[in-house]
Amino acid sequence: MAEISIILSEIEVKVRKLIDVKNQLVEENRRLAREVGALREENEALVKTNQELHDKINNTTIVNALGNNEEEIKEGRKLIKELIKEIDQCVSILNTKE
């Protein structure tokens, strides 16, 4: 009878430990879910900022490209190509983070 009591006590200790581990995992899961939500919001804000900057760059480039000088037009086109490459890189980086 004493052996059964000892075995039951050991089982009870193990069950309590499992319950503690389960509670810790539940809390960690909640924390990670909050973190994912915050990261999604940050990502959305960055995408919005990226788009706003992209639009601003396009507007500035268009204004600059409207110069009468052939050299200014070439510079504007070169700038547009460089900006497009940079924007593509930014989009690529954002897509890899998702």
Report how many domains make up the chain.
1
Comparing 96 with 36, which gets the higher pLDDT? Answer: 36
Q: Is 67 left (phi over 0), alpha (psi -120 to 50) or beta?
A: beta
In this predicted structure, what is the pLDDT of residue 4? 87
C-alpha of 77 from chain center: 32
Indicate if the pLDDT at residue 58 is higher than 80: no
Range of the domain at 55: 2-97
What does the pLDDT look like over 8-56, one tens digit per residue? Answer: 999 999 999 999 999 999 999 999 999 999 999 999 999 999 999 988 8
